[in-house]
Structure 1
Amino acid sequence: TSTIVLVGVPSDSAVSVYVVCEDAAGNSQSVPSLVAVTTPPDLLPPTFEPGFPAINVVEGEYFVVEAVISEAGTIFVCVLQVDADVPLPSPSAALVRSGRCDAGADATLVAFVSADAEADTSVLITVSSALMAPGVSYVAFVSASDHAYPVANDVLAPVVITNIVLPDTCVPAIRSLVAVPASAEVRRKDAAQVSVDVDVSRCTGALQFSWAVDNVARAAFADAAFVPATRSVAELQAGASASRRILKLPAGVLEVGAEYDFRVHVSGIGGLSATATASIAVAPLSKITAVIAGGRTRT
């Protein structure tokens, strides 16, 4: 008696198997024997290997889910933003596979992705969406189904991964730093001021502003202490008056013919920052010149 194992035979199918026997002398039967076989349906769901799925990478604009399943199939990742004061939804595996994820009034669907997987093989699934923002907590529901025909089998229940927070990768960009006189006439006892316009796209939380000023000719203000100030991104994006942090030199400190450097340093909560410098020179005829990024204009 001999046993032959056939691999890859489809489930729930009628299969015709032709068998030819050959003896040790090399004599084969002239007519193959037909064996009709009906394979049983595949009713076993796939399973995730221990330790999976798991978050592999979290960056400012995406995160990566790593998963390993017991048989060939498809992995589904559904991501929700859920209000902090409401219970987490409990979607079925089929609901996750459909991409709905049980989103409702208290939960917003922000991403849905899927990827095919081989048995016992690591798969990396990148989740990215324009609806995701840094600093916000998200919940991922990860499910899987096999390739059984005609009906695929889902895992018994999706795996829930909570508290996925994209880091703030804010890179504040200083669009302009303008030095202007406080009045139409600039004399020694007048004040001067600067204002800054900052691009805060993809920033959250708050930005830290620091200022300093140097007298270039005499170094009278050299090593002047930076004056910190904090402005929320919401204020900056709204274009309110807080979007321009003003630094004034008090009356009586400007000197005719002297040049002054105004420096601003802006940093986000992620630690990335930008710095800009604007120079002004007090002219003898009570005019002030602003020099910004190598360009020269008169005001």
Structure 2
Amino acid sequence: MRILFIGDVVGRPGRKAVHQFLEENRNRYDFCILNGENAAGGFGLTEKITKALLSYGADVITGGNHTFDKKEIYQFIDKYPILRPANYPEGTPGKGFDVFEVCGKKVLVINLMGRVFVECLDNPFRTFDRIVEETEADVVVVDFHGEATSEKQAFGYYVDGRATAVFGTHTHVQTADLRQLPKGTLYITDAGMCGAVESVIGMGVEEGIFRFVKQLPVKFKVPEKPKLIQFCGVSFEIDKEGDVSNFERIQEFYVRREDGSYIRREKAIGED
């Protein structure tokens, strides 16, 4: 079984990067998880965009602190394979985990949100305990949406040997710490972002600078027609014994052509 996890998709540039990558590579994977909480202009999800992401090849869309930014999501969150953080209070619309049948195995996908520097929800560590104790699965994949790297790392070690893989999201910058923890859990602090390269975590550079220089509120906008976009994610395999193998970080770049379409850049940023 080969699984692909896609980092935070930010606005139209992020959706273009996902479409481009999956159009070329989707047949290499048996299951695809995508964090889509920033897919609609950087804030939330619409039904139209949800349908588009699923049509590209996503099997499940996870969320985070921006899940409910577009109020229309209340009308369709239960119609599609969308997850919001499982540690939201009881009664919150939608669901925080689900089990999917993949290659004859039960894959449990859990969406959790950290509590440091973001909304203070229920304890994600204890929420994980409850879910895995009550749910039968062969593979357990966690999207841990959090700001603090320390909280993400602590969670990784806390679930080591119980979760198959833990992918950090929210901070939008892919980290270089993809590895297996001592008891076998695949871990990365942040899977990265799909979106405009020349941006501040996917949003306009000028707005980002203004916010930190002036210390005043500003409306963030996703860059229009960026020259360069990126796709970030992680892929891994599950062998016959149920162990993780052949994992890798993915970072692909695409250059905008004159007709508005994008083509894969053969060299990474910074290479001659």
Specify which structure has the bigger relative contact order, considering alpha-carbon pairs within 8 angstroms and separated by 6 or more residues: 2
Larger proportion of helix: 2
- Structure 1 length-normalised TM: 0.20
Larger proportion of strand: 1
- Structure 2 length-normalised TM: 0.21
